[in-house]
Amino acid sequence: MSLTPKKARFLEFLRSYQQERGMPPTFQEIMNGLGMSSLGTVNWYVQELEKDGYLRRTQENGKRALELIDSKAESLPLLGKIAAGLPIEAIPNSEWIEVPPAYLLPDHYVLQVSGNSMIGDHIQDGDYVVIRQQEQAEAGETVVALINGEATLKRYYPKAEGIELHPRNPDYPVIQVSPNDDFRIQGVLRCLLRNFE
């Protein structure tokens, strides 16, 4: 699972503090322990890690109201590889991939990225993406699109004369989808996972 180094350091401080003292730190103790300049910065990290599914607040405004969510991530099915280059078919597979608890929902699944057409969004060849299964998307969202039976991962832009699927790498062309093409959105990107092994 990919966390920024600063988020990982923040989370590790919480874990270490809890293991040593048997209780979570206060925001003030986090600020002092990590050398942060303000409680607002601490709050920002807490909110981000809540969104990522790593911790939760157990009581409103309590001094020690942080609870680490079990670090043993659960799994979602890996349904195949998705092109971030030229479209390829997403093939069903039986492998399972560990994900943060926030994404353990019945309409979510994992695909492995093949290609580098989305590197401008920091999505690299070999990364895993958590996808929420849905058939509609907002302009600019990154979607799993099925075009004439082939799946691809691109930014979605509906236009008056059709649909454009934008890569995030200047080496790849925009895919133009005409009204004559068989086009469906299969899901929207929710989370990027990367192993640093």
Q: Which residues are annotated as catalytic?
A: 117, 154
**Paired tokens of 159:** 């236009």
Helices 27-34 + 5-21 axis angle, to 10: 120
90 Cβ neighbours under 8 A, 6+ residues apart: 79, 80, 81, 82, 111, 144, 151, 186
Is residue 144 within 8 A of residue 190, CB to CB? The reply is no
